[in-house]
Chain A
C-alpha cells in the first residue's frame, strides 16, 4: 500500500474535484497548497507510478457523447471465473469488471457507440460463455460523483 503524508493527502483530496484547469495547473496547485511546483510534480509522479493516481484528465459523460452504457451481471460457475472474466475483458468497450461473490458474481460495465453494438457484445458473450447475463441499464440517475475522502 502507498504511504501518504499529509501533503500527499491534501493533493489527492484537491485534484479530484478542484483540479485547477489552467495553462499551468501544477504551478497553481502549488500556490493553493503552499508548496513549490517542482514538489507538486515530483509527488504526482510518485503517486502516479505507485497507482494512487490513475490519470489526470477529462472524465467523460458517455450519455452526452452519444454513447450507450450499461451494467451487466453474469452468473458464472466458480471454476470458470478466470476464463469468463478474460472473455469479457477482451472487449475494449468493457470499462469495469469485478468479481462480487453472490449468485450473480461477475459485474461489468460496457460503454459503446450504439445499442446494436451493445446487443452484439451481449449475444456474443452469452454464446461464448453459456452463462446467464442480465442487462441492467440505468433507468434513473440519482448520483454520480466519485470523490474519495482520503484520511
Chain B
C-alpha cells in the first residue's frame, strides 16, 4: 500500500458520486488514470486492505430494524467447532470469539439482522439446536447513537 492507495481510500471512503464517471475527479486530483484507480482497488481487495468495494446499506431505513447481538457461553475447547457452525448460518453477518470477564461469561458473539425480533429469536433457537449451546442471551439494539464505517 503506497501513498496513492492511501489517498485513494481517503477520497472515496465517504462514498463515490453517482455519475457516469465517478472516479474522474479523483483521477484528476491524483494525476492517474481512472483505469489505474480501478486496478488499484482490485489490488487492495486482493491484499485484504479493503474487504470489498460496494454499498453500505442503511438497513433500518428499509425495514430491517431488528438487530440482535447473540452472545453465547461456549466451552473453550469447543469454540473452533461451534464458531464454524454459527458462521455457516446466512442470517449471521458477524461471528467472533471475545474474552470473558468475571461478570461476563459469554465468549462467542454473533450478529443477526432481520425484519422482526421474532425472526432473530428463531435464528438463535436454530443456532442453539445446531450447536448444542443452551446458555445464550440476545441483546437487541433499541437505539443507534452512531454508525460510521472504519476510516483511514
Contact = CB atoms under 8 A, between A and B. Distances in A.
Contacts of A80: none
Given A51-B61, A142-B95, A21 B53 contact: yes
A96 B146 contact: yes
Contacts of B79: 140
A94 B50 contact: no
Given A23-B35, A61-B48, A143-B94, A12 B57 contact: yes
Given A56-B55, A100-B141, A89 B48 contact: no
B145 A85 contact: yes
Which secondary structure characterizes the binding site on chain B?
A: mixed
B58 A62 contact: no
A59 B83 CA distance: 24
Contact of A1 (B14, B23, B51, B63): B63
B73 to A, nearest CB: 14
Nearest to A135: B99
Contacts of B103: 103
Contacts of A56: 15-16, 18, 54-56
Given A21-B41, A99-B145, A100-B142, A57 B16 contact: yes
Contacts of B62: 1-2, 4, 12, 52, 148, 150
B108 to A, nearest CB: 8
Q: How large is the interface on A (under 10, 10 to 19, 20 to 34, 35 or more residues)?
A: 35 or more
Contacts of A60: 9, 13, 49-51, 149-152
Contacts of B35: 23
Interface string A42-77: 001100101111111111111011010101010000
Contacts of B80: 140
Given A23-B34, A134-B104, A146 B93 contact: yes
A83 to B, nearest CB: 12
| The 9 nearest A-B residue pairs measured at CB | A55-B15, A51-B61, A143-B87, A19-B54, A100-B139, A142-B95, A97-B145, A142-B83, A140-B97
Interface of B: 1, 9, 12-16, 18-23, 34-35, 37-38, 41-42, 44-45, 47-64, 67, 69, 79-80, 83-84, 86-87, 90, 92-99, 101, 103-104, 109, 113, 137, 139-152
Given A59-B149, A88-B145, 4 more contacts: A21-B42, A24-B21, A107-B69, A111-B151
25 contacts: A2-B62, A12-B62, A22-B38, A26-B19, A27-B20, A51-B60, A52-B62, A54-B55, A54-B149, A57-B13, A58-B52, A60-B13, A61-B50, A64-B48, A71-B98, A85-B145, A94-B146, A95-B151, A96-B147, A98-B143, A138-B98, A139-B97, A145-B93, A146-B93, A149-B90
